[in-house]
């Protein structure tokens, strides 16, 4: 897995070396259903986001996307191991850059539309920022947490996933002078609704030798039904347990930036939405854009 990520980052730097400052690159907004969920109609609103680049001068196409390194389920829920008290999290994410755009896949299972054209100089500056972003934002976070579904509701926690990377990239391109088209762009949000969260501690203070055993047991019990199911019966049994905990019990244990929080859940508990987020305004004075 990590060797594959290194290869994709190497492709980006090779592309950088071949760019000319005055070369122009078409930039596409790309969305598709997550590959492992293509058959699940329940999740039609969940889309994976990426950015595509086409260089007519080089005759090359490239894809840049930020995604979970160990699959979405592993980033969202931990592994519980019998010999260790603390849950084991595989919640790292990273931006990867690789040659090629699978046009058929993106168009048949989602959308792909050009949003701007940038110069080689702007692309090179963006690439430096991508490396910085990769080095400083390493944790994947599926959930956003808000006080209510209202537009101006208080946000307790922001999600940190593929769409947020695309939005950060577009904002950086705008700062560098990219002028975006006046088109509508939508992104998936998965939101939990909760009253004010309660801080519980980190792995050491909860699961360590002098930790809080009561909280430790509660967290392990909460995450137990989220494990992969081996039969239809097990799936429904675990689903009932989740409903009992989250909906009837009004509770959710959130792991965010290496810390655990208790969420007093409230109606409507969770929402998967496909929301419009406008493309940013540009600073057209930079790099002669």
Number of domains, the chain: 1
| Average pLDDT over the chain, rounded to an integer | 83
Q: In this predicted model, which residue has the larger pLDDT, 188 or 141?
A: 141
Task: Give pLDDT, residue 97.
Answer: 87
**237 has a pLDDT exceeding 90:** no
Q: Is 277 within the bounds of a domain? A: no
This prediction's pTM: 0.81
Asked, for residue 244, whether it belongs to a domain, the answer is no
User: Residue 280: inside a domain, yes or no?
Assistant: no
- 248 pLDDT tier (thresholds 50, 70, 90): confident
Residue 222 lies in a domain: no
Unique residue bearing structure tokens 């203070």: 205
Spell out a b/e string for 140-168, using b for 16 or more CB atoms within 10 Å of the CB, else e: bbbbbbbeeeeeeeeebbebbbbbbbbbb
Q: Looking at residues 102-125, what average pLDDT do you find?
A: 85
- Identify the CA nearest to 67 among candidates 160, 187, 169: 160
| Cα–Cα distance, 57 to 172 (Å, whole number) | 24
Q: Which helix (H) or strand (E) holds 155?
A: strand 155-157
With beta carbons less than 8 A apart as the criterion, state whether 51 and 167 touch. Answer: no
Range of the domain at 31: 2-141+158-180
What is the four-CA torsion angle of 106, 139, 42, 262, rounded to 10 degrees? -160
Start-to-end CA span in the chain (Å): 38
Q: Report if residue 60 sits inside a domain.
A: yes
Positions annotated as catalytic residues are 48, 162
Can you give the three-state secondary structure of 90-134, one letter per residue? CCEEEEEEEECCCHHHHHHHEEEEEEEEEEHHHHHHHHHHHHHHH
Residue 31 in any domain: the answer is: yes
What integer pLDDT is reported at residue 34 of this predicted model? 58
The tens digit of pLDDT for each residue in 23-69 reads 567 887 867 655 544 434 344 567 788 899 988 788 888 889 888 87
């Amino acid at each position: 897995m990590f060797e594959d990520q290194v290869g994709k980052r190497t492709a980006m730097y090779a592309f950088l070396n071949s760019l000319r400052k005055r070369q122009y690159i078409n930039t596409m907004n790309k969305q598709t259903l997550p590959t492992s969920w293509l058959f699940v109609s329940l999740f039609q609103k969940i889309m994976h986001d990426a950015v595509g680049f086409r260089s007519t001068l080089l005759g090359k196409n490239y894809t840049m996307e930020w995604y979970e390194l160990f699959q979405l389920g592993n980033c969202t829920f931990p592994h519980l191991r019998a010999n260790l008290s603390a849950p084991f999290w595989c919640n790292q994410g990273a931006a990867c850059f690789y040659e090629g755009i699978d046009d058929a896949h993106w168009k048949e299972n989602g959308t792909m539309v050009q949003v701007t054209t940038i110069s080689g100089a702007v692309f090179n500056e963006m690439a430096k920022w991508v490396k910085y972003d990769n080095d400083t934002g390493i944790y994947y976070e599926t959930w956003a947490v808000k006080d209510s579904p209202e537009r101006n509701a208080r946000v307790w926690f922001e999600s940190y996933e593929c769409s947020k990377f695309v939005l950060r990239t577009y904002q950086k391109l705008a700062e560098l002078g990219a002028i975006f088209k006046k088109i509508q762009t939508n992104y998936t949000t998965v939101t939990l609704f909760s009253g004010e969260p309660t801080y519980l501690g980190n792995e050491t203070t909860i699961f360590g030798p002098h930790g809080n055993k009561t909280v430790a047991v509660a967290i392990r019990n909460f995450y137990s039904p989220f494990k992969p199911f081996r039969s239809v019966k097990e799936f429904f049994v675990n689903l009932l347990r989740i409903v009992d905990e989250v909906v009837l019990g009004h509770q959710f244990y959130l792991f965010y930036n290496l810390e655990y929080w208790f969420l007093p859940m409230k109606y409507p508990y969770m929402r998967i939405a496909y929301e419009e987020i406008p493309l940013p305004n540009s600073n057209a004075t930079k790099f002669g854009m």
